[in-house]
């Protein structure tokens, strides 16, 4: 069957798709919590304040089964009480703020198989972007990973979240231009 074409997420998704605690994958206070954050930039180098990012990853043991409860609802009043604080769902969703910045708090993904570098899969939506883009957050520049190994060093660097003082990881997404992020397709 022929696929339904994509259309931009538009400027007004902000009251529909993001939800409270959308970036808080890690149970509160978990000692292994890592903050991953960055900006989204357009081709002029300006921050993109109306982007939406989704993250999907293996759990710390490399498991890819995921769990429901990412956008848990209160069935009494319909509010978003947040996740249950126990189960790791593997999914996060955050919008960029007025400065084009985003952040998630997660647990490091485990390797999903021998010789595979762990990564977080990312899906990028924005006003002006007619079809979402996929990329990956790697934590190490592991040349053993087949995708990383296939890229020249400058492009490869766009997929690796650098460590900041204090332990946060920095991952900027450039939609276009000089240091354009590597975007992926799957067939």
Partner 1 sequence: MPDSQADIDREIADIATAVAKAVAGGEPEPEHVSRDYRPYRSSVLRHPHHPLILTAEADTELRGPVFGVTDVTELDRDLTRHHLGEPLGERITVSGRVLDRDGRPVRGQLVEVWQANAAGRYAHHRDQHPAPLDPNFTGTGRCLTDGEGRYSFTTIKPGAYPWRNHTNAWRPAHIHFSVFGTAFTQRLVTQMYFPGDPLFRYDPIFNSVTGEAARQRMIAQYDHDQSSPEWSLGYRWDIVLDGPAATWMEEGR
Using CB under 8 A as the binding rule, the residues of this chain from 56 to 85 that contact partner 1 are: 56-58, 64-73, 75, 78
Footprint on residues 127-156 left by partner 1 (CB under 8 A): 127-134, 145-147, 150-151, 155
Q: How far apart, in whole angstroms, are the C-alpha atoms of residue 29 and residue 13?
A: 30
Q: Give the tokens for residue 110.
A: 């485990």
For the CB of residue 68, give the shortest distance to partner 1 in the complex, in Å.
3
Query: CB of 93 within 8 A of CB of 103?
Result: no
For the CB of residue 31, give the shortest distance to partner 1 in the complex, in Å.
24
Footprint on residues 10-29 left by Fe ion (CB under 5 A): 10
| Residue 18 is a binding residue for partner 1 (CB under 8 A) | no
Q: How far apart, in whole angstroms, are the C-alpha atoms of residue 118 and residue 112?
A: 7
Nearer to partner 1, 14 or 164 (CB): 14
Nearer to Fe ion, 10 or 14 (CB): 10
Residue 5 interaction partner, one of partner 1, Fe ion, none, beta carbon < 5-8 Å per kind: partner 1
Torsion sign, CA atoms 164, 110, 102, 104: negative
């Amino acid at each position: 069957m022929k696929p339904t074409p994509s259309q931009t997420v538009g400027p007004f998704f902000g009251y529909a798709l993001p939800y409270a605690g959308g970036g808080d994958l890690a149970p509160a206070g978990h000692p292994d919590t890592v903050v991953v954050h960055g900006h989204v930039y357009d081709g002029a180098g300006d921050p993109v304040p109306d982007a939406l990012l989704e993250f999907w990853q293996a759990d710390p043991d490399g498991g890819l089964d995921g769990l429901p409860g990412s956008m848990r609802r209160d069935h009494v009043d319909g509010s978003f009480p947040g996740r249950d604080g126990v189960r790791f769902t593997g999914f996060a969703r955050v919008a960029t703020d007025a400065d084009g910045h985003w952040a998630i708090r997660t647990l490091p993904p485990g390797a999903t198989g021998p010789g595979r570098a762990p990564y977080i899969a990312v899906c990028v939506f924005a006003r002006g972007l007619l079809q979402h883009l996929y990329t990956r957050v790697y934590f190490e520049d592991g040349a053993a990973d087949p995708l990383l190994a296939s890229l020249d060093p400058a492009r490869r660097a766009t997929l690796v979240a650098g460590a900041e003082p204090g332990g946060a990881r920095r991952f900027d997404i450039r939609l276009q231009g000089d240091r354009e992020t590597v975007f992926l397709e799957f067939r």
